[in-house]
Amino acid sequence: MQENLNSRPKVLLAMSGGVDSSVAAFLLQRAGYEVVGITLQMWSYEKTYSGKESAKPDNDFIVSAQHLASKLNIEHHLVDIQDEFEQTIIQNFVEEYFAGRTPNPCVLCNPTMKFGALFRYAEKLGCEKVATGHYLRLKKENGRFFVSRGKDVAKDQSYVLWKMSQAQLSRCLFPLGEFAKEEVKAHARAFGIVSIAEQRESYDVCFIPTGDYRSFLQMKCPAECEALRGGIICDKNGTWLGKHRGYPFYTIGQRKGLEVAVGHPIYVTRLDAEKNKVILGEKEDLLSQTLFVTDYNIAKYETLPKNFRALVRIRYKDAGTMALITHEENNSLRCDFDTPVSAVTPGQSAVFYDGEDVVGGGVIVR
């Protein structure tokens, strides 16, 4: 856990009721920490889906977390932050799609909601540290805190924590950084929590359990979606190809569901929210040599070194491409890639890696 255990502070652990945070609780206790558990109820079917027929209350995760806390004889708190989550994360998610961008809600949620709430309650409960079940490592060099890839490459979550501040990182513990997912499950079985070890994984977007963001937007903003229906689908030269269902229902790189036949594969290459257009092109039209980011955060260094080279990941599952990163005059960063990258998507994050370490990241604007 990269922590001096000679003086083990009281730690507030985020308990989701899943296998990751549950094993983290055991590991922290075994390391001698005084653990206090907290479960953040950030959304529910009832509240998020406004009583729709498909909405069924699902509080299994709360019951699971409370049961484990009882088993370990640790203090546990349930905190309802659904209103704040709705106003901060879900509202931003919807607004971004209607602005023609593709958001990553986890990137915003972690520093503002999840860790924001954890640190607020850590102060109230007298906890010096906070811990989560994220798969990543925490490092400190030259007085700077930053995250690094976890041992399990397939589960590594370093990409979504690039916005974390130095003040936040300095008080974090990530007990699972040195473990692979199967090792965590094996620990769960050894700790006697077999049912948790075998439970299903959580969703990529927690408040859209079906994975269908289009239906979610339709449910949240039916009138706005209907107003955009019938806009133009065209090619890069402006040639009319058809009508779309509303540009928020499309994303850069999309090939399926376009309902346009041109005799060969064609892809969404750009969204024009101002003109209510979806622009299509060939596969090569998706390639970009350069991108720009704003709202960036640098963690490993006090300031980004001049003409810095890094591996840049432009989406969560992206392996990354080497690029030269330079400062622009308008408080943005420019990434010039060694080889072109495909489907640069405004709203997503570009995260910079120096080896395994996250140097920082920013939100892609173009």
- Domain stop point among 262, 281, 300: 281
Query: Could you read off the pLDDT of 149-195 as tens digits, one per residue?
Result: 999 998 999 999 999 999 999 999 999 999 999 999 999 999 888 77
Same domain, 299 and 180: no
- Asked if residue 2 has pLDDT above 90, the reply is no
- Domain stop point among 197, 217, 252: 197
Same domain, 268 and 193: no
Confidence class for position 50, pLDDT limits 50, 70, 90: low
Residue 311, CA distances (Å) to 53, 288, 319, 355 in order? 46, 16, 9, 8
Same domain, 169 and 133: yes
- Domain stop point among 197, 212, 241: 197
The one catalytic residue in 106, 109, 172, 221 is 109
pTM above 0.75, yes or no: yes
Q: What percent of the chain has pLDDT over 90?
A: 79
Q: Kindly state whether residue 16 falls inside one of the protein's structural domains.
A: yes
Q: Kindly state whether residue 214 falls inside one of the protein's structural domains.
A: no
Same domain, 276 and 290: no
Question: What's 246's domain CATH number?
Answer: 2.30.30.280
**Is 109 one of the annotated active-site residues of the chain?**
yes
Residue-range definition of the domain harbouring residue 167: 10-197
Q: Kindly state whether residue 188 falls inside one of the protein's structural domains.
A: yes
With beta carbons less than 8 A apart as the criterion, state whether 108 and 92 touch: yes
Query: Could you read off the pLDDT of 279-314 as tens digits, one per residue?
Result: 999 999 999 999 999 999 999 999 999 999 999 999
Q: Kindly state whether residue 49 falls inside one of the protein's structural domains.
A: yes
Same domain, 241 and 335: no
Please tell me the total count of domains within the chain: 3
Nearest partner of 160 among 105, 213, 218, judged by Cα:
105
What's the whole-number average pLDDT of the chain?
91
Question: What's 180's domain CATH number?
Answer: 3.40.50.620
Same domain, 292 and 273: no
Same domain, 274 and 293: no
**Is 206 one of the annotated active-site residues of the chain?**
yes
Residue 362, CA distances (Å) to 223, 319, 359 in order? 32, 17, 11
Question: What's 341's domain CATH number?
Answer: 2.40.30.10
Q: Kindly state whether residue 108 falls inside one of the protein's structural domains.
A: yes
Same domain, 32 and 70: yes
The one catalytic residue in 106, 127, 172, 206 is 206
Q: Kindly state whether residue 213 falls inside one of the protein's structural domains.
A: no
Same domain, 236 and 101: no
Q: Kindly state whether residue 2 falls inside one of the protein's structural domains.
A: no
Same domain, 188 and 302: no
Same domain, 300 and 267: no
Report the Cα 137 to chain-centroid distance in Å.
16
Same domain, 267 and 128: no
Q: Kindly state whether residue 223 falls inside one of the protein's structural domains.
A: no
- Asked if residue 54 has pLDDT above 80, the reply is no
- Asked if residue 56 has pLDDT above 90, the reply is no
